[in-house]
Amino acid sequence: MLVVGLSGGVATGKSTVSSVFRAHGVPIIDADLIARQVVVPGTSTYRKLRAEFGDDYFDDEHGGVLRRDKLGKLIFNDPDRRKALNRITHPAIRWEMLKQFLSLLVYGTRYIVFDTPLLFESGYDAYIGTTIVVWCDFEKEVERMMKRDNILRADAESRIHAQMDIEEKKKRAKIVIDNNGNIDELREKVKEIIGQLDKSWKPFIFRLVFGVILGVVPYYFFKYLRA
């Protein structure tokens, strides 16, 4: 199975791109969604977060849900608290991603999209088949974020600056999508990429290599046991 990593800047259009893949029947592993799911009340990650950050960061009038905005502000300016958050949440996120990946592997999907804003920062790009970066000009990125999230320009700009430079991401990507046009143009570009991926031999090669490994490893293992 070919894994297609999808990344970009903040509000450059990743979700819009992944929705086109989804509509085409391609499974998506959505890192943002998983990051939200692992901290819902009742999970062990939730309990650890509550013990670490205290009741102020949880909204008990609404089921005790995590106050993401408040925690986001805290960790934005405090690297130690950010490390504490990552130490608690990252193992759960990685485990959930692995579970989803393995179930899709068993299911036999030709390729999947792994949608994660921190694809390059996390170093996952080194392990996956191909990478897509969707970008737009800084000014458009700021405007789209301000409109979608109803935030001030200064907040939008600082969120962009907190991430890896988009030019660096573009350099490291195999496929770069320019999202300076309108949404329909973006959708057309994604459909073209889907057409190329559908024709690609890469998923077949990945399956062949995986199949060989699955056959060869047990063969030598049992040979070794019998010797």
Ligand X SMILES: Nc1ncnc2c1ncn2[C@@H]1O[C@H](COP(=O)(O)OP(=O)(O)OP(=O)(O)O)[C@@H](O)[C@H]1O
Contact residues for ligand X (CB under 6 A)?
Answer: 8, 10-16, 32, 117, 144, 148, 179, 181-183, 186
Q: Which is nearer to ligand X, 11 or 88 (CB)?
A: 11
Q: How far is the CB of 134 from ligand X (least distance, A)?
A: 7
Dist. CA 114–CA 31, nearest whole Å: 7
Q: Write the DSSP assignment of 184-221 as a string of letters.
A: HHHHHHHHHHHHHHHH-SHHHHHHHHHHHHHHHHHHHH
Location of structure tokens 């800047």: 9
What residues does 126 pair with on adjacent strands? none
Q: Which is nearer to ligand X, 12 or 130 (CB)?
A: 12
> Please, what's the b/e burial string for 112-131 (b: 16 or more CB within 10 A of its CB; e: otherwise)?
bbbbbbebbeeebbeeebbb
Q: Which amino acid does the sequence have at 162?
A: A
Q: Which is nearer to ligand X, 56 or 149 (CB)?
A: 149
The residue sitting closest to ligand X, measured at its beta carbon, is 15
Q: Which is nearer to ligand X, 117 or 203 (CB)?
A: 117
> Please, what's the b/e burial string for 18-52 (b: 16 or more CB within 10 A of its CB; e: otherwise)?
bebbeeeebbbbbbeebbeebbeeeeebbebbbee
Q: How far is the CB of 153 from ligand X (least distance, A)?
A: 15
Q: How far is the CB of 59 from ligand X (least distance, A)?
A: 21
Q: How far is the CB of 206 from ligand X (least distance, A)?
A: 26
Q: How far is the CB of 69 from ligand X (least distance, A)?
A: 14
Phi, psi dihedral angles at 128 (to 5 degrees): -120, 160
Q: Which is nearer to ligand X, 19 or 200 (CB)?
A: 19
Q: How far is the CB of 183 from ligand X (least distance, A)?
A: 4
Q: Which is nearer to ligand X, 181 or 211 (CB)?
A: 181
